[in-house]
Structure formats: structure tokens, C-alpha cells
């Protein structure tokens, strides 16, 4: 029976659940190998089916009222003769007298193999999700599974299989192995089936026995649901003028220090925004020496961006006035909307309706605007001190990144663009990510996210971007407590954290553990190239820190590099008599800047060295800055480790400004280099 016929019949009967024999018929029509299932409605029919198969057989109840057949006594295994089949039929039917039974399936027992599970579920953020894992204890206790958003590519299927902890069992263990190529094709077939049949809500293919020569689906069920809406075609969006406006109006600008309207307008003036500025305040004649206007309609020239800082109750009216005046982008920094409840949500929907009618894009509400150091634009609601033009892009769902954290980070990191999205009523994280990625000034992008809108588009856009520019994401709302906090903060719902991690892997996104980790990675990637080799050369003044670094790089999938014989001879000429190690190289307290420089130059000439960890003394850190910044590293990254760096911040800042990231522990350095190497390796594989 064709798969569509099976599905149509179930829907016509008002059913959302395909029984095992129906599910297997669907899978067989896709070219997926199953044990099949003959349906018996009497003992004689059961025996007849049994006699057409090679013993042993299994028998299972077929009932829409019974989902977990084994738990309810609806499964009989290893039946070897007609008498056993008749007895099993009677026992099953007797056990389900109170259920509506469609029949008893009789099927050949599958030969033993490696037990696996394949499933499909629907996620509120990312849509249909494909799951794979080993069965039995691996899925029930260890939860050793992998996920990907559907549709998947061949590389996704391969990654799903390789990333589970039990992958070693699939490759081969004590004479057992699995046909990984056939398994990849199975995952691809399920993905393709779900995409072509939007009525598929869930699938449970469990168990699947994996063999050296193929596989066998032993049991399966398919759940139908409301058809998923067809994915919308991606529309190329141009948000260039939101980031590089020629004119900005601040509605709610204030001449009173301490008010948000004062902060925003002061930032724009003090950072010397290069375009025209129009303060809008009906009670002021001028603000910061610039003529003030009672309303935006009184501004004599066109306005690219309007920043709105008025109370929530009048915001919709202000939005409409902006639209009528031809404003192209509206940034609502005011709070008091959906994050506070239904009344605020109604105002949001009204604003969205107005903006849509006029074709105007809206950022926020409840955000802190955009900072673009390359056009001296700072829209933040918190006062921001001097910034340097940089190559880091930051997209944040929370405004704290744009003000509070910048106070310290600006000393060691150079941001190009910082965009806060707040409640993302219209412009969302994917829109901003796409726009920031197109900016030639930006080389690495960080994101703080509490949720994602339009998950599949986010994956597709991020996957394309990570081929050229690394993306580092900090995702909050992982726990139940965190999810509740998110809902009260930006009216967002945090999705299943396992699914988010899988979506990030599928996109090539680097997931950060916390703020420090995200900014450590951003500093390393923005200042240094990605390593193309796994060999690491460690230079230290303290033997213990060198040993810790060696352990850490191994833990992070790297290894100690091995210098070629001529380079070892060059290194020996530098080493004191009491030093014999070639990697790590421990100069003890005789280490100085010139020695480190010459040692690095030896590593640069080695084909096996991909990166450097240089452990430096905090008390003389400043003596290394000028020497190290003038070395030609030839594309090999160097990260410094300085124990106690928090007590040498002046010199740390000098070293960071010289382009060399400074971390506090060898573990942090090894973690960053490992992540950078794996990202480079993944990109190279995707491009090949």
C-alpha cells in the first residue's frame, strides 16, 4: 500500500496514530527495510502468516488504544511453532478484551544487532527535529542521543552519528560493527519524508537493529498532526541604513541629566555621530546646543532612524506619526510592553500593525538601540565612554551588554557593532545577524540569546555565515528557573536546551558557557588567526604551568607539536644548561622577552606548530609587549597565559591592545585554541 494511501485512510477515519503495520508499510514504500507485519484477525490467520515466514516470529497487538505494547503485555517473542502462535494469539486477545483491537501482527524476528533508535518530534522554535541514538540503556539511562533540525544534509547525518558517545560501538567493537553508510541513508530518507509530508508530527522508529550489512526496523509508529505551514521563502533584507543612518531623531530627548532621553542624546553627541541629529521634545528649545522640535513632523528634513523614548501608552501614536513622516527605521527603547503582560502585548501588536502597513522596520521595544563605532553612533540608554573602532559584532537580547559591560570590556576589546533587540517585535536576531555579517568591518560575531524566532531560518543563515565569520553564542534559559526568568524579562519562551545545542552545532555556531567564555573566545578570534594544525608549542617560565597546559591541550583534542631536527638544534642554542625539554619549553625565571621572541620564531618555522601558548610573568608583563607585538606569526595564533593577571591590568591592557589575548589559566587558553581549531577544521571540511 502506498504511503499516501495509508496516511489518507487514517485521516479519513479521524485518526492521528498509524499502527505498527501501517507505519511499516509507509517506511517500506520509502525503501526502508523493516520486519514487515502481517495482520491476523483469527488464530488460523495467525498460523497461516506464521507458516509463510521462517521461524521464529513475533506477535504484537494492533490497537489505537495501546501505545506501549510491551508494557501492557501485547508482545510475544520467539514463537517457533503453530501451537505457540495459537497460544500467543489467545493470550494477547484475552489481555485486551476492553480495548478496540484491529488485529494481531505476525512478523519475522529480526536477527540481533546493535540496537538504535530514530525519532522525529516537533519543536516550537525549530520545527521538525530528527533524533538518533543507540537504544536500550544508552537512550533510557545515558540519554546518548543527537538531534538536528529537518531538513538535514548528508554532512548532518554523518555528524549526528559521529557525535554520540556510543559511536565507537558503531565503528566496530569485539567483532561487531554497523553499516554507517546505510544508517546515514536511513536518516536522510526520514528527513526527506518529513519535509515532503507536513502532516507528520512525530515518528518513533525503535528499535532499529544495525548490522555490518544494513539495518532492520523492528518497530515503528507515526503520529499525524495539523499540517505544518510551508516555509516562507527567504527575503533578502537590506538594513544597511539602520546601522549607517544619515539622520537620527530622538523622540523623548531630554536636557535633564539622569533621564534616559538625556543619556541617549548625550551618547550621540559626545561620540560625534556623523549624521544629522534632531532632538524631539515639545518642552525644550534646544538640547546640547541643537534645535529641539515639538514633534517629528516638525523636522524639516527626512529622517532615517527615529529613536523612541516615551511611555508605553503613547508609543503606538508616536510610531504612526513617524511612519507618516517617512521615517524608515524606528528603534523603540522604551519598556513596559509584552514583558509586563497582556496590556503591553496589545500595544506591541498595534505598533507592529502600524509599521507593517507603512513598510517600516521596527527594532525593540525594550532594547538599548545600536552602537556602530564605524559611524560614531551610540544609541545606548546607558552612558558609554570612548570606544575604539573594532571588528567584533555583538547581537544581544539584553541591553546590559551595550552599556554596563562595555565600561570594562572597551579596554581590551574593540567592538564594531553592538545591536540590542529586546522584545524583537519586528526585527529579530536573524535579521540583525544577517545584516551584521555583511559588514566588512566585522570579522567575528557574538550573540546573547534568550530565545530564537523562526528557528529554521536562523540555522540556514548562521550556517552560511559561519563559513566566513565565526559566531559565538551565549544562550540563557537552559533550566526551568532560567526559563521563568526569561519569560518575565523579554516575553520570550526558551526552547529545549538540547535542541538549541544541536541547532548551534548544525549551524557551525560556537556555544559559550558564560559571558566570560564568550568574550574570551571573541578576543582570541578577533585578534588572532584560526590555527590550521593541531600541534601546540608551549613556552613557559614555570614548569607546573607548562605541564597543566600540556594536559589541557590534550583534553581539548590538540597535541604537543614536534619540532623538526634542525629546529631542535636552533632551540638547544637558546636553552640554559639546566633546561632540556623541547615542548613545553621551560626557561624558568631566566625567561625574557628576547628569548621568547626567538623561541616563537623557531616555532613559526615548524610545519608541525599550529599555535602557541606563552606563559608570562605578571610582574614583568609590560617588558614583553613591544617585543611580542612585532613578531611575524605567519598565521599561527598566540595566546598569552598570565597567572594573577587581575593584579597587572595596566600591562594586560597594553598586551591586549598589541593584539595578543591574555588569559588567566592554561585551561582557558587551551579551550580557546581547541575551539578555534575545530571550527577551522569544520569550515574547511564544509568547503571541500
What number is the average pLDDT over the span 128-133? 94
pLDDT at 428 over 60: yes
Residue 456: what pLDDT?
95
- pLDDT band with cut points at 50, 70 and 90 for residue 176: confident
What number is the average pLDDT over the span 164-170? 92
Residue 400: what pLDDT?
60
Residue 3: what pLDDT?
82
Q: Are 368 and 420 in contact (CB under 8 A)?
A: yes
Residue 481: what pLDDT?
55
Picking from 24, 186, 1, 40, the residue whose alpha carbon sits closest to that of residue 110 is 24
- pLDDT band with cut points at 50, 70 and 90 for residue 234: low
- pLDDT band with cut points at 50, 70 and 90 for residue 103: very high
Phi, psi (degrees; rounded to nearest 5) at 546: -65, -40
Cis check: omega of the bond before 392, within 30 degrees of 0? no
pLDDT at 119 over 50: yes
What number is the average pLDDT over the span 398-423? 82
pLDDT at 95 over 80: yes
- pLDDT band with cut points at 50, 70 and 90 for residue 135: confident
How far are the Cα atoms of 72, 179, 202, 655 from residue 217, in angstroms, in the given order?
Answer: 21, 14, 16, 59
Residues 6+ apart with CB under 8 A from 567: 602, 605, 606
**Nearest 10 degrees: Cα torsion 131, 137, 143, 149:** 0
Q: What is the pLDDT of residues 439-485, one digit of tens each?
A: 999 999 999 999 999 899 999 999 999 999 999 999 987 666 544 54
Residues 6+ apart with CB under 8 A from 534: 557, 558, 559, 610, 677
pLDDT at 401 over 70: no
Element (H, E) at 687: helix 666-687
Residue 406: what pLDDT?
80
pLDDT at 68 over 80: no
Q: What is the pLDDT of residues 26-63, one digit of tens each?
A: 999 999 999 999 999 999 999 999 999 988 999 999 98
> In the 3-class helix/strand/coil scheme, how is 617-644 assigned residue by residue?
CHHHHHHHHHHHHCCCCCCCCEEEECCC
How far are the Cα atoms of 412, 536, 620 from residue 19, in angstroms, in the given order?
Answer: 61, 56, 73
Q: Are 372 and 305 in contact (CB under 8 A)?
A: no
Domains of the chain: 36-108 (3.30.1490.20), 114-224 (3.30.470.20), 240-524 (3.40.50.261), 529-687 (3.40.50.261)
Q: What is the pLDDT of residues 364-381, one digit of tens each?
A: 999 999 999 999 999 999
- pLDDT band with cut points at 50, 70 and 90 for residue 536: very high
Residue 399: what pLDDT?
72
Q: What is the pLDDT of residues 542-580, one digit of tens each?
A: 999 999 999 999 999 999 999 999 999 999 999 888 777
Picking from 131, 118, 121, the residue whose alpha carbon sits closest to that of residue 202 is 121
Percentage of the chain with pLDDT > 90?
A: 79
What number is the average pLDDT over the span 113-135? 92
Residue 687: what pLDDT?
86
Q: Which cell is 513 given?
A: 558557557
Q: Are 518 and 635 in contact (CB under 8 A)?
A: no
Task: Cell 590550521: give the residue.
Answer: 532
Residue 64: what pLDDT?
84
- The whole model's pTM is what? 0.93
Q: What is the pLDDT of residues 246-255, one digit of tens each?
A: 999 999 999 9
Residue 17: what pLDDT?
87
What number is the average pLDDT over the span 252-271? 96
Element (H, E) at 676: helix 666-687
- Report helix, strand or coil for 449: strand
Q: What is the pLDDT of residues 484-531, one digit of tens each?
A: 544 332 223 334 888 999 999 999 999 999 999 999 999 999 999 999
Residue 479: what pLDDT?
63
Residue 565: what pLDDT?
96
How far are the Cα atoms of 127, 299, 334, 370 from residue 331, in angstroms, in the given order?
Answer: 30, 18, 9, 9
Q: Are 286 and 292 in contact (CB under 8 A)?
A: yes
Residue 140: what pLDDT?
72
Picking from 589, 580, 637, the residue whose alpha carbon sits closest to that of residue 614 is 637
Residue 485: what pLDDT?
47
Residues 6+ apart with CB under 8 A from 614: 539, 540, 596, 600, 628, 638, 639, 640, 641
Q: Which of 266-275, 403-412, 512-521, 630-639 is least confident?
A: 403-412
Residue 488: what pLDDT?
31
Amino acid at each position: 500500500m502506498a504511503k499516501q494511501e495509508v496516511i489518507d485512510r487514517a485521516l479519513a477515519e479521524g485518526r492521528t496514530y498509524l499502527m505498527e503495520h501501517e507505519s511499516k508499510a509507509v517506511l517500506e514504500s520509502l525503501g526502508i527495510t523493516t520486519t514487515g507485519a502481517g495482520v491476523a484477525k483469527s488464530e488460523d490467520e495467525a498460523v497461516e502468516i506464521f507458516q509463510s515466514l521462517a521461524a521464529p516470529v513475533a506477535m504484537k497487538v494492533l490497537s489505537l488504544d495501546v501505545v506501549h505494547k510491551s508494557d501492557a503485555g501485547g508482545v510475544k517473542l520467539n514463537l517457533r511453532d503453530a501451537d505457540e502462535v495459537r497460544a500467543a494469539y489467545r493470550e494477547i486477545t484475552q489481555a485486551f478484551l476492553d480495548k478496540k483491537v484491529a488485529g494481531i501482527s505476525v512478523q519475522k524476528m529480526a536477527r540481533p544487532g546493535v540496537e538504535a533508535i530514530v525519532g522525529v518530534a516537533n519543536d516550537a522554535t525549530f520545527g521538525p527535529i530528527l533524533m538518533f541514538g543507540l537504544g536500550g540503556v544508552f537512550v533510557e539511562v545515558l540519554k546518548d542521543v543527537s538531534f538536528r533540525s529537518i531538513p538535514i544534509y548528508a554532512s548532518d547525518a554523518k555528524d549526528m552519528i559521529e557525535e554520540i558517545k556510543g559511536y565507537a560501538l558503531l565503528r566496530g567493537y569485539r567483532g561487531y560493527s554497523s553499516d554507517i553508510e546505510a544508517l546515514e541513508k536511513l536518516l536522510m530518507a526520514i528527513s526527506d519524508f518529513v519535509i515532503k509530508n507536513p502532516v507528520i508530527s512525530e515518528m518513533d522508529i525503535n528499535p532499529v537493529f544495525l548490522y555490518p550489512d544494513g539495518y532492520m526496523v523492528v518497530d515503528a509508529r507515526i503520529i499525524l498532526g495539523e499540517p505544518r505551514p510551508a516555509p516562507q521563502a527567504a527575503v533578502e533584507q537590506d538594513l544597511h541604513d539602520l546601522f549607517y543612518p544619515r539622520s537620527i531623531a530622538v523622540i523623548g530627548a531630554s536636557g535633564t541629566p539622569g533621564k534616559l532621553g538625556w543619556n541617549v542624546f548625550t551618547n550621540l553627541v559626545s561620540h560625534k555621530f556623523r549624521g544629522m541629529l534632531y532632538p524631539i521634545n515639545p518642552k525644550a528649545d534646544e538640547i546640547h546646543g541643537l534645535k529641539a522640535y515639538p514633534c517629528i513632523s516638525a523636522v524639516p528634513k527626512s529622517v532615517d532612524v527615529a529613536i523612541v523614548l516615551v511611555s508605553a501608552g503613547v508609543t503606538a501614536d508616536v510610531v504612526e506619526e513617524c511612519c507618516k513622516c517617512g521615517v524608515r527605521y524606528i528603534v523603540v527603547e522604551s519598556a513596559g510592553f509584552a514583558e509586563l503582560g497582556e496590556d503591553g502585548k496589545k500595544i506591541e501588536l498595534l505598533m507592529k500593525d502600524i509599521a507593517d502597513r507603512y513598510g517600516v522596520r521596527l527594532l525593540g521595544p525594550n532594547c538599548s538601540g545600536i552602537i556602530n563605532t564605524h559611524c560614531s553612533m551610540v544609541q545606548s540608554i546607558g552612558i558609554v565612554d570612548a570606544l575604539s573602532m573594532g571588528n567584533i559584532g555583538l547581537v544581544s537580547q539584553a541591553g546590559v551588554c551595550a552599556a554596563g559591560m562595555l565600561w570594562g570590556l572597551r579596554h581590551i576589546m574593540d567592538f564594531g557593532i553592538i545591536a540590542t533587540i529586546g522584545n524583537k517585535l519586528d526585527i529579530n536576531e536573524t535579521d540583525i545577524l544577517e545584516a551584521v555579517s555583511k559588514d566588512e568591518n566585522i570579522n567575528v560575531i557574538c550573540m546573547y540569546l534568550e530565545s530564537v524566532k523562526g528557528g529554521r531560518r536562523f540555522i540556514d543563515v548562521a550556517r552560511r555565515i559561519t563559513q566566513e565569520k565565526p559566531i559565538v553564542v551565549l544562550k540563557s534559559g537552559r533550566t526551568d528557573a532560567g526559563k521563568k526568568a526569561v519569560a518575565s524579562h523579554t516575553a520570550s519562551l526558551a526552547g529545549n536546551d538540547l535542541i538549541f545545542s544541536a541547532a548551534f552545532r548544525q549551524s557551525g555556531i560556537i556555544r559559550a558557557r558564560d559571558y566570560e567564555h564568550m568574550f574570551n573566545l571573541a578576543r582570541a578570534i578577533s585578534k588572532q588567526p584560526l590555527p590550521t594544525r593541531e600541534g601546540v608549542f608551549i613556552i613557559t617560565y614555570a614548569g607546573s604551568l607548562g605541564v597543566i597546559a600540556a594536559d589541557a591541550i590534550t583534553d581539548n583534542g590538540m597535541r604537543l607539536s614536534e619540532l623538526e631536527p634542525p629546529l631542535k638544534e636552533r632551540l638547544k642554542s637558546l636553552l640554559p644548561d639546566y633546561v632540556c625539554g623541547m615542548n613545553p619549553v621551560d626557561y624558568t625565571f631566566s625567561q625574557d622577552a628576547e628569548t621568547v621572541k626567538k623561541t616563537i620564531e623557531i616555532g613559526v618555522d615548524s610545519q608541525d606548530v599550529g599555535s602557541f601558548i606563552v606563559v608570562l610573568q605578571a610582574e614583568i608583563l609590560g617588558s614583553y609587549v613591544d617585543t611580542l607585538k612585532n613578531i611575524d606569526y605567519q598565521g599561527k595564533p598566540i595566546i598569552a597565559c598570565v597567572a594573577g593577571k587581575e593584579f597587572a591590568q595596566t600591562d594586560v591592557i597594553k598586551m591586549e591592545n598589541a593584539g595578543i589575548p591574555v588569559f588567566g589559566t592554561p585551561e582557558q587558553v587551551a579551550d580557546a585554541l581547541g575551539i578555534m581549531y575545530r571550527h577551522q577544521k569544520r569550515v574547511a571540511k564544509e568547503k571541500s
